[in-house]
Amino acid sequence: MKKLLFGALVLSFMSACNNDTISNQEDASQDPGTASGMTASKRACPSDLIREKALKSDPALRARFEANELQSENFLRDLSMGKVLADGTVEIPVVFNVIYNTSSQNVSDARIAEQIAVLNADYGATNSDINKIPAAFQPSAAGNVKISFKLVATNRKQSTKTGWRSDLEEMKKSTTGGINATDPTKNMNIWVVNSILDEDSQPGTLGYAYYPESAGLWYDGLVIGYQYIGKTGASAPFNLGRTVTHEVGHYLNLPHLWGSSNTGCQTDYSNDTPASPGPNFGTPSYPLNKVCGGVSRSQMFMNYMDYVDDKAMFMFSANQKTRMQAVVAAAGPRAGLR
């Protein structure tokens, strides 16, 4: 950490002095005395003096200086908290809120640990099935997304409820039998429930999540059915923890490959995921071509943002990585997670 900071200081010094050199050269061209090729005997760098003078006379410049210093201070503090790791990986603190009726729905600490491990493998591109990416899609594979996950708390609550309405967010309020979020500006909350119900009280949802425009709101986070957490005891074919991988994708601003509406063939804002008319299910065989706008394209159905079975999805694209990085960047909507 110290090394990094020192490096940054050296860099900024070097650039300041380079600028200074340039201005000296400009001066020199107008000054016949130095144009003759006089060599300095002592190092002199007036960057700070020049800066001081400028900051005194220009309040807007001073405001920018102060903002930069604050940003550096925050960056340093985040490093000291271990949230931005030395290699630049952003480590997201995760809070599990498990609400169960029967004991089998009370997913074990071991299963939660498995889920965190799946997230770290999938987002770190160390998942064992990454070698299955078809050659044609390998150039657009994300590699290490440089976002990792660290479990910081697990809250548990027994409830008589057998289903939880997603539209009412019942699981996220103690007043409706749920568990309140743990500071959603700083933690990714995951609620685990026995059954997610739609607005007509119908079950069938594996999970859902909120996009970054909801960052920090009381309902921000993921909701996942207990059947789909981790691997051991999870329900096939959704038993490799990838429901959470997919929902975290939404949390980090990734739409489905076919866009945010059911119409299909809409943008997902990533240029390296081929246009798609709608979800793929099960375990499709590669290649699989589908048509959008009259053009047939090979589908990237093995992307985590499709609907295929857990064992059939194993990649993010490079553009998707960039989008997720933008969300957790220092100036991004989920910077508080850093």
CB 117 within 8 A of CB 176: no
Q: Alpha-carbon distance 236 to 308, whole Å?
A: 12
Q: How far is CA 158 from the centre of its chain?
A: 31
Residues classed as catalytic: 247
Residues in the chain: 338
In one-letter notation, the amino acid at residue 44 is: A
For 223, 277, 337, the CA distances from 229, given in Å and listed in that order, are: 11, 29, 22
Strand partners, 291: 296
Which residues, in sequence order, are CB contacts of 189 under 8 Å at separation 6+?
Answer: 94, 95, 97, 172, 181, 182, 220, 221, 222
C-alpha–C-alpha distance, residues 205 and 210, integer Å: 15
